[in-house]
Chain A
Amino acid sequence: MRALRFLLQKEFRQMFRDKGFTGRLFIAPAIQLILLPMAANYTIKNINIAIVDHDHSVTSQKLSQKILSSGYFKLADYTDFDSRANKLIESDKADLVLEIPNKFERNLITDNTQKTGIEVNAINGVKASIGFGYLSGIISDFNNDLRATWVQPERTNPLPTISVEPSFWYNPLLTYYIFMVPAILVSLVTGVAGLSAAFNIVKEKEIGTIEQINVTPIKKYEFILGKLIPFLAVGGVVFTVGLLISWILYGILPLGNIAVLYLFLYVFLFAILGFGLLISTYSETQQQANSIMFLFMMVFNMMSGLYTPFDSMPGWAQFVSHLFPISYFIDVMRMVVIKGSGLHDIRIHILCVFLIGLVLNTWAVLNYRKTS
């Protein structure tokens, strides 16, 4: 074990001598945590709407005003030609067209009913469906206003109505960053700690120092521990920096026990460092390691439930993403930070990630050869 002490001393010396190191440790987390939550914002604003008003009545104008004052929509055009509005959709200047037909007000008063048309530019599906949702909400609200003013409220309502009063648990204001920031922190720890371990070993292969190590009587497990331990430390630092930033910038303090988070962090690092190690045993150059890592990071980020709901994937895809340690960590972060879950609630997560880590590390140790 004496050799391990010298390996660790060497790794830490090299780490602190590396000029980009402190940058990766502090600046990268700061930048990612400031910028990424902005991009991962699901509240859609600035939806361009064109209103085709064939009616030109007080009611149609009131409706238009209500829509525009909601804050979600920007008026692209106010016209009475269908063709003009359609052109706006074709040229991508409008996301939605609301068509208010002729005799809109009159039909409402006389027939008590009137249809309106909404045309949606669905190239950006998310924007389209959310925009449509907002618009329908505003129109139905408008509808209720009309009833209240036009129809004499009856003493007893002949038609029973069910009204839904939602109460959102854990994140009552549905603030997106409370949901996103903890998950982005996971992606960050994976990037900084897990991947640098792989690059570190491949770099030794490239410059040839690994051969000098392989010709010494050093034990395989000593060498691998000598590479893992420094990055466990780095992972801990990055995670702490990230938690501090999310507290300072977003006021997010974990509801649950912080010790539980750190416990899971180290189980996770064990797994993800094993993965990095495995990649390094299969790559000869940093470019190779880089392209493999890039592929996996893409898949991890897209499939882990970071940006899109995990449960909306088909069953087999959910199974695949259950093989990624990062999916568990994102889940655990959200559970512990937002919901205040404890050790008991995440015991299955710990077990799964530990087993994945065990497989990855064993595979890496078996595949790392001092002799070819």
Chain B
Amino acid sequence: MNEIVIKTNKLTKRFGDFVAVDEITFDVHKGEIFGFLGANGAGKTTAMRMLCGLSIPTSGEATVAGYDVFKQPEEIKKNIGYMSQKFSLYEDLTVKENIEFYGGIYGLSNKEIKEKSTELIDKLGLHNEAKKLVSSLPLGWKQKLSFSVAIVHTPKIVFLDEPTGGVDPSMRRQFWDLIYEGADKGITIFITTHYLDEAEYCNRVSIMVDGKIEALDSPAGLRQTYEAKTIDEVFYKLARKAKRSAD
């Protein structure tokens, strides 16, 4: 647990006068489930996009999987998986075709693609749906498929941006089973969420308020520091200070 896979130092992103992410500094360890909490508009997605090489930071430093976000974004991309807020598999391709496509793009061999497809379809219980268009799947299944596709190339780190939004509680539970399974394989999980109960499932949690990281600790540590029974309470204590309105 000691190897550091994400390291940031005063990482900042400005859009004009607006400081979306304000000098955030933190480390994430290998195999960790790192929760990234914050109200809407707190800057979670922007921070995540910088770490994925989708957005160039304004200032500060950051390395992901040992590569610099300014100089080596394409190297970072070989080592990470990403699941965005928007569902982003191809709805007009079948389950199998989506797995094949992303496997191919990440440079898996034909044999690996075949093995991965069978494995994923088995694990997700999608035998009957394998040849159906993704658009015909229910949302919860789509999200599970999306996650599995994001780690099809067994990346070092996977970034999940509100993966469980709009999904029912039992599906969320199943989704977290997949996350644990990934973490057991040594994949570092970086996850943003709205559901504060999900924060309890993380090894460590950071809470962002107005672009800054206000708190960072294990769930138990946070409850102790803020003398709260749940992470929920911790969050409200911190979020009350927010000046930015949610967008």
Contacts and interface: CB of A to CB of B under 8 A. Distances in A.
Interface in B8-27: none
Given A14-B92, A215-B54, A215-B77, A6 B86 contact: no
B88 A10 contact: no
A3 B73 contact: no
Q: Which secondary structure characterizes the binding site on chain A?
A: helix
A213 B105 CA distance: 9
Interface stretch (B93-101, B183-191, B217-225): B93-101
Interface stretch (A79-87, A204-212, A353-361): A204-212
Given A5-B104, A10-B101, A371-B56, A208 B73 contact: no
B82 A215 contact: yes
B134 to A, nearest CB: 11
Contacts of A209: 88-90
A214 interface: yes
B105 A216 contact: yes
A260 interface: no
A13 interface: yes
B62 interface: no
Nearest to B85: A208
Most chain A CB neighbours (cut-off 10 Å) among B73, B104, B133:
B104
B166 to A, nearest CB: 15
A134 B53 CA distance: 71
A207 B53 CA distance: 20
Most chain B CB neighbours (cut-off 10 Å) among A3, A213, A215, A371:
A215
Contacts of B104: 2-3, 5-6, 9
Contacts of B93: 10, 13-14, 17
B52 interface: yes
A372 B104 CA distance: 25
A213 to B, nearest CB: 8
B131 interface: no
B101 A208 contact: no
B141 interface: no
B230 interface: no
A216 B73 CA distance: 10
Contacts of A370: 53-54, 73-74
A210 B78 CA distance: 17
A218 interface: yes
B90 A14 contact: yes
A13 B86 CA distance: 22
A311 interface: no
B54 A214 contact: yes
A215 B153 CA distance: 13
B84 A212 contact: yes
B80 interface: yes
A371 B82 CA distance: 14
Interface of B: 52-56, 73-74, 77-78, 80, 82, 84, 86-93, 97, 100-102, 104-107, 133
13 contacts: A3-B105, A5-B104, A6-B100, A6-B105, A10-B90, A13-B93, A209-B89, A212-B82, A215-B52, A217-B105, A218-B105, A371-B54, A372-B54
Given A14-B92, A217-B106, 4 more contacts: A6-B105, A208-B88, A212-B102, A370-B54
Interface of A: 2-3, 5-7, 9-10, 13-14, 17-18, 207-209, 211-218, 370-372
3 smallest CB-CB distances across A and B, nearest first, come from A6-B104, A208-B86, A212-B88
